[in-house]
Chains A and B, each alone.
Chain A
Amino acid sequence: MRPFSFSQTQDVETAVREVAAYPDSKFIAGGTNLLDLMKIDVMRPAHLIDITKIALNTIEETESGGLKLGALATNADTAYHPLVEERYPLLSHAILAGATAQLRNMATDGGNLLQRTRCYYFYDTQTPCNKREPGTGCSAIKGYNRDLAILGTSEHCIATHPSDMAVALAALEATVHVSGTNGARAIPMADFHRLPGDTPHLDTNLQPDEIITAIELPSKGFAQHYTYLKLRDRASYAFALVSVAAGLELEGDTVKEARIALGGVAHKPWRKPEAEALLHGQSATRENFQKVAEAYLEGAKGYGDNTFKIELAKRAIVRALEQATNMEASA
């Protein structure tokens, strides 16, 4: 690990001021990803600002009937919070599908959104990687890419975002509250993460001087019909090959509203509202779910090892919508 300086802050204003003042500085909270990446020399911050003392760990109801998750609330506290379990079980299930109990105890909600990709090449400093070192090339496109993206890729990067939580947040259309030197703003989940394009080194639209303060969930939680279906190479402690967060609002067997987000397939949680809209006013049948699945994966591109994900994602969407409809036990 390269040497770095370290400071602790008690409030958002100081945190933002410091991150703007120190070159190459990073916030650290749970540290479950950043420290690993520093040890293997993938991330090389010159200064770390410990934000764990800032009072941002509460989970509160909002006036509009939603819920505000403090950026420093842990994944564990969030997943097991009674209001989350009751109103947003999709989010609770998604969080618990990720990592391990020990990691969820340390990891924060804000940090979860800022996880880096788990691409093999990003993790190995002796291989070319445009995300780690822009301009060196992407080893994955013609290399080993079983875990990597099939949607929204570019010729520069096919990395995926690894979070489960973010997939549920995308389906729930959460909003990310941030503060920076220019003040506070709110970013819809759909706009928070980026596609790689020709700037794969940028994961999100968060500015370097901005800090996540909270994640706001709107009132609609799809608590009656939801599922988080995560498909992976072993039953726990593995990142998703494909995951589906699905929420349905049903009237009889007619779909009033459908929300779907895919994980493990793109540089960000993948939403396609126009495909979801195909279900609106339609009956909740396997046939209709298959139409949505086809539309959702339109334009998907496989790179060899990961081509199976296209078919897998379609089947996962169908199964997730069936599960959400019938509220069967999640696979």
Chain B
Amino acid sequence: MSAQQIGKPANRVDGFEKVTGQAKYAAEFSAPDLTYGVVVNSAIAKGTIKNIDISEAMALEGVLQVFTHQNRPGYTWRDKDYQDKDSPPGSPFKPLYSNKIQFSMQPIALVVAESFELARYAAMLVKVEYEQEPHDTNFEANLPKAYKPKKYKATPPPDPRGDAAAALASATAKVEAEYAHPSEHHNPMEMHASTAVYEDGKLTVYDKIQGVKNSQQYLMKAFGLAEDELRVISPYVGGAFGSGLRPQYQLFLAVLAARELKRSVRVVMTRQQMFSFGHRPKTNQKFAVAAASDGELQAIKQEVFAETSKFEDYSEDVVIWPGVLYNCANVELTHKLVGLDVYTPLDMRAPGGTTGIYALECAIDELAYEVGIDPLEFRIKNYSEKDQNKDKPFSSKELKECYRQGAEKFGWSKRKMEPRSMKEGHNLIGWGFAQGAWEATQKKAAAKAVLTPEGKLLVTSATADIGTGTYTVMSQIAAETLGLPLENVSFRLGDSSMPMAPLEGGSWTVSSVGSAVKLACEKVQETLLELAKKVDNSPLQNASIEDVIFSDGQILLSQNPTQSVSIKAALAQNGGESVEAEATQQPADKQQNYSPYAHSATFVEVKVDEDLGTVKVTRIVAAIAGGRIINPKTAKSQILGGAVWGIGVAMEEETMMDNNLGRFMNHDLDKYHVPVNADVHDIDVIFVDEQDDIVNPLGAKGLGEIGIVSVAPAIANAIFHATGKRVRELPITLDKLL
């Protein structure tokens, strides 16, 4: 079929708007008489505000109000009114609620003025006196107080299988090691921002968020608003990586101010303030792994200690990976939390997977060396044919094909097992491997399709495009289903008045929203077929929907494609009306019997200058089994982005806590390092063929997270191969290799 859209490397349909600056982000929407809010943050990590003096700020002409806990309007005290769709169990932070300080950089005042510059200046004049209390921010010091939460936000640790302790005691080859992952902050290019437009008592809020429905419902509960009093819009998001899963405090404060002042208000966080809320939690992992002399895995024991706040129990899927990735009879997994005086951690790209797979894949590499088996061979030997956490087969798993194609592209067969065996001038060369997985979830989602008499299709769903390509792939799915050219299709998102979509995260958007788009378009197909039958001498008179295909603007009999009715002719039978359909797609029952995962195999080459400790990641080959690839171009971008971030995870990213002050200190992009172009060299992306009829009606698996999970361990393993040193504390900065 010439009109096939799925599988085409289509350019981003929103690319032109983005590169020409026409795409508007939350802080770029305006309103008549817009006012500007600037947030004041706490200097201390714990205690109370004794006094907050706003008089000097208020004295400036043009300053409208300085909102604090003292003058805020009354609002709800109930925790559940502040809980959003991504809240962990606990008591959510309530901005300006009381004089209590729960974490450093907590928002404690909002200055609103007629100009941004004035608001920023006035914010400097707010004087705060604190009653300081001793804070707990030292993760290591608080490890003895680690606890099992009453309720896990993530999957609770799977039950033990077999007897790991006995297997470890009698094993011939064993590795016990502890791995440390630091706190990391998301740092999308676009800072969090909300523009609350106030009009006749109603609010339209432009918000940076990964799901407008989440912001809308949060605001409705927190401010006691009805659905028709509040619309949330978010057409473009300049990166989020999970930071936009929960409504952040600038949203609450902008709406609070707009309602009180009856004016439109914009609040934008500064880059420094991007370090004042959720982050990937600092996590320590103790691994004990054992194998027989032939390399058969005999035991995996994983003990996780992860940071959370003192008011919410954040947890993520750190311990599920042994059961997904390795066939092993004796497994013991624990996940404990360390409560600190910090803001609650927050899902960050592949939450739990980035952390857990890093440590697991390093421990397995260490064990392969202990046994003396090539690390890739070791994985093949212990390949899991089913998800042992759930005791279910995978819906599909072409990971062995990833091994094969990745190894061939990389030249893995030429690798010498021995560390320090490759040299070039000052550099030691190392080759490392790691594998990864990420769940291919489908969630309930809805979409609406409207086909105009002119043959233009508009599809809507309240999802988001955080740079992932949602606009483009949804357009392709719709165009494919109805046999229309891509330019006749537009997809719109990011408006709370649109049909329901889940939060844009978890790599489930293509699977969930894509399936809903397909279903809505299939409903349009049915109407079109009925209309086509009304055409004079219609060859489709007796056809049912199974008998026809939609292609190139035609409805064709699949048995006899010369017999067709054009979609336009069918539409002409609708009395000048559009054909509309709304559909909600749920995961199919047959999924219940399977475990759906995407898989990755990552091969890395590093060059290490041992005298100076510097590391260059010269080559990455990422082979991905991600089901059906809707758009190879946007798909590749996802994997490239994941690989680049993997370099950051392995070697650069770390938010540094000053435990004297209880404060993250490297809170800007000068001091918080993410990779720059000069750090990134060759990256090859391979998508292997993978058929999956179970995962969802599209056969596609999400790609947002599978690209990052196995990169950092492959780099760490390559550094070992180069140097013979195991650095078990991320990031692997040059001082750790001296």
Contacts and interface: CB of A to CB of B under 8 A. Distances in A.
B670 interface: yes
A238 interface: yes
Given A124-B665, A312-B613, A142 B660 contact: yes
Given A146-B656, A331-B612, A2 B121 contact: yes
A315 B612 contact: yes
A241 B121 contact: no
B117 A1 contact: yes
A231 B738 CA distance: 13
Interface stretch (A115-123, A220-228, A275-283): A115-123
Interface string A123-141: 1101100000000000100
A236 interface: yes
Interface residues of A, number: 36
A82 to B, nearest CB: 26
Nearest to A162: B670
Interface stretch (B146-154, B178-186, B563-571, B672-680): B672-680
Nearest to B42: A126
Given A124-B667, A143-B658, A319 B124 contact: no
A120 B733 contact: no
A234 B735 contact: no
A234 B665 contact: no
Contacts of B665: 120-121, 124, 127, 143-144
A2 B612 contact: no
Interface in B652-691: 652, 656-658, 660-661, 663, 665-668, 670-671, 673, 675-679
Contacts of B85: none
B612 A241 contact: no
B534 to A, nearest CB: 63
Interface string A298-322: 0000000000100110011011000
B734 A331 contact: no
Given A2-B121, A123-B668, A139 B611 contact: no
Contacts of B677: 236
A161 B677 CA distance: 26
Given A118-B670, A139-B661, A231-B734, A1 B676 contact: no
Q: Interface size bucket, B side? A: 35 or more
B272 interface: yes
A237 interface: yes
B4 interface: no
Nearest to B661: A127
B207 interface: no
Interface string A1-12: 111000000000
B43 interface: yes
Contacts of B660: 139, 142-143
A234 B679 contact: yes
A138 B3 CA distance: 68
B681 to A, nearest CB: 10
B614 interface: yes
Contact of B611 (A126, A233, A319): A319
B120 interface: yes
Given A139-B661, A144-B656, A234 B675 contact: yes
A331 B120 CA distance: 43
A120 B664 CA distance: 10
Contacts of A234: 651-652, 673, 675-676, 678-679
A139 B658 contact: yes
Contacts of A127: 43, 658, 661, 663, 665
A143 B671 contact: no
A124 B275 CA distance: 13
Nearest to B671: A120
B614 A236 contact: no
Given A120-B666, A142-B660, A312-B735, A231 B117 contact: no
A235 interface: yes
B414 to A, nearest CB: 26
A46 interface: no
B609 interface: yes
B612 A319 contact: yes
B678 A236 contact: yes
A40 B121 contact: no
A318 B435 CA distance: 39
A155 interface: no
Given A144-B666, A234-B678, 12 more contacts: A41-B124, A118-B670, A118-B671, A127-B661, A142-B660, A231-B613, A231-B734, A235-B678, A239-B670, A312-B612, A312-B734, A331-B612
24 contacts: A1-B117, A1-B121, A3-B121, A40-B272, A118-B670, A124-B667, A126-B663, A127-B43, A127-B663, A143-B660, A143-B661, A231-B612, A231-B734, A233-B652, A233-B673, A233-B734, A234-B678, A234-B679, A235-B616, A236-B676, A237-B676, A238-B673, A308-B738, A312-B734
